[in-house]
Amino acid sequence: MSYRGRTLVINNLAASSLWHKLACVDPPPNLLANIQAQLVDFFWDGLHWIPQSVLHLPKEEGGQGLVQLSSRAAAFRLQFIQRLLTGPGDLVWRAAASGLLHTVKGLGLDRALFLMDTKMLDISGLPMFYCGLFKIWNVFKKQNKGCRSVHWLLEEPLVYGG
């Protein structure tokens, strides 16, 4: 089988069976890494010719377009946060999510928790899925360190820590 054929098998058959599961639950820490290693071994027949990171690049950039499971799982978490923060008001699950987030440290906040410094919050009482949301949210926070001007603040949709 050609390398392009193997990429199609991995992306469309093997990995796609995980998408619904990844959108609903947080997998154990090493599970995605182990599955990714098995998929890369299938791609290379056990003989690794180039670094794995190159395989994940788009074909136009010299890669094979192989899906990276951990990045896709993070994207699902960010999509959930986006729907929670900005989605339509009639989402069926929003009330349940807000109820769970209200329990964090007795603050009575739900969506406003994402504006806070979440490293200071005790989220240990939340289900693992929601703990994973805050973990991914912290990865994508951007801070402008060393900037002497406040003009960048005018471009920000949210004021962090305010």
User: Could you read off the pLDDT of 20-38 as tens digits, one per residue?
Assistant: 888 778 888 799 899 988 8
Residue 2, pLDDT > 50, answer: yes
Give the contacts of 100 (CB within 8 A, at least 6 positions apart): 126, 127, 130
The confidence score (pLDDT) of residue 34 equals 92
**Total length of the chain:** 162
CB of 103 closer than 8 Å to CB of 120: no
Of 121 and 7, more confident: 7
CB atoms under 10 Å from CB of 42, counted, come to: 14
Of 28 and 152, more confident: 28
Of 109 and 31, more confident: 31
Distance CA 124, CA 132 (A): 11
Q: Which of 5-9, 51-55, 87-91, 110-114 has the lowest mean pLDDT?
A: 110-114
Q: State the average pLDDT over residues 141-151.
A: 61
Distance CA 63, CA 65 (A): 6
